[in-house]
Amino acid sequence: MNLSLSITKNIHDWLFSMMPETVASLTEMTLIATVYLAVFAVTGLFLVLLERKVAAWFQLRLGPNRVGPWGLLQTMADALKLVSKELTGTVNADKFLYNLAPYFVIITALMALAVLPFSGEFQAFDINIGIFFLIAISSIGVIGILLAGWSSNNKFALIGAMRSGVQTISYELSVGLSLLTVILITGTLQLSEIVEVQRNGWLIVQGHIPAMFAFMIYMISGTAETNRAPFDLVEAESELGAGFHTEYSGMKFAYFFLAEFINMFIIASIATTIFFGAWLSPFGITESLPWLGVFWFLGKTLVLVFLMMWFRWTFPRLRIDQLLTLEWKYLLPLNLMNIVLMAIIVWLNLTIQF
């Protein structure tokens, strides 16, 4: 049932028949952007509620359950409340940078969402340097945090932003190297090709031991990239107030807040795509129903998101120098050793194929 393919083809043809070419392509791009904005908003809202419910179940209590059945409308109520708040700014803040900072994080999150292969046909932008693009985008997000901390004219915010900058640029190395380990098997950077390679078995099964190490290192560095616990010194509530977004209120704060959850979703999606075969079912059991691919993708991603939440609610926080020691003395050497191991296994054809 190529339902989605026929819908997009029909809309594409209808638009191109009605208007001249440039206008039609512009309209098509705007439509796709709107769809992705909607996906962004709904995913953000849903993930915030999921985090609150999961946290409550770990802590022996019930989560929000009064607003809507099972608390489903809770985040809507929170969003309405945030929209109605006054946007206070500090007096001596750098106005231009202060207002610009939230948009950096939002735009990078949206750009990363565009290349993810949700299903066989549901992928907005399938360039041939997919993985490279994703890693480059996550580096731009750091600028938003640094700008926010600096322009708030607040010592606490500055400490938080500096810590975050150091943390993010260190852990990007580990993210890149652990993804590189798996690329050695696929031989291509394009995301849809990577999914095609996984029809012979998911990549975490194909490259058995080194792929598992790569996955573990990727999960640790991915949690550190998004400033989540146990690496959340940046917003360490019991030490410094609220970190780099202390001076933001109302909708701008909502941007930072949502962007953190979407980043978590993106990290989990990349792991699903690379390691677990994005929309492919295990052993091909539902191959005949390709539209189920979206549900497989979302299911696998949600399991990984749950794993990241489990980390947050169990472990204490690391200090900044311990964080950096972990990266430069432990994760980076292990990553390099892992790449060598994977290269040997691929050269000797020892990967498991089905």
Which positions touch other proteins (CB under 8 A)? 54-62, 155-156, 159, 229-230, 232-233, 236-240, 310-311, 313-322, 330, 334
Annotate 166-194 with b (16+ C-beta within 10 A) or e (fewer): bbbebbbebbbbbbbbbbbbbeebbbbeb
The residue among 223 and 351 lying less far from other proteins, judged by its C-beta, is 223
Pair 225, 262: CB distance under 8 Å:
no
CB of 276 to other proteins, least distance (A): 20
Least distance from other proteins to the Cβ atom of residue 126, Å: 37
The distance of closest approach from Cβ of residue 217 to other proteins in the complex, given in angstroms and rounded to an integer, is 11
Provide the minimum distance between the beta carbon of 158 and other proteins in the complex, in angstroms, as a whole number.
Answer: 10
Which of 61, 349 has the CB closer to other proteins?
A: 61
Distance in angstroms (rounded) separating the CA atoms of residues 57 and 59: 5
Of the two residues 61 and 84, which places its CB atom closer to other proteins in the complex?
61
Tell whether omega for the bond before 69 is within 30 degrees of 0, i.e. cis: no
Residue 342 contacts by C-beta under 8 Å, 6 or more apart in sequence? Answer: 181, 182, 184, 185, 207, 210, 211, 214
Q: Which is nearer to other proteins, 109 or 264 (CB)?
A: 264
Closest distance of CB 305 from other proteins, Å:
14
Task: Identify which of residues 134 and 332 has a Cβ nearer to other proteins in the complex.
Answer: 332
Give whichever of 140 and 334 is closer to other proteins, judged by the CB atom.
334
Strand ranges, E, within 152-202: none
**Alpha-carbon span 175 to 179, nearest angstrom:** 6
Please enumerate in sequence order all residues whose Cβ is within 8 A of that of 283, keeping only pairs 6 or more positions apart, or say none: 354
Least CB distance to other proteins at residue 216 (A): 8
Tokens read off for 292: 């189920």
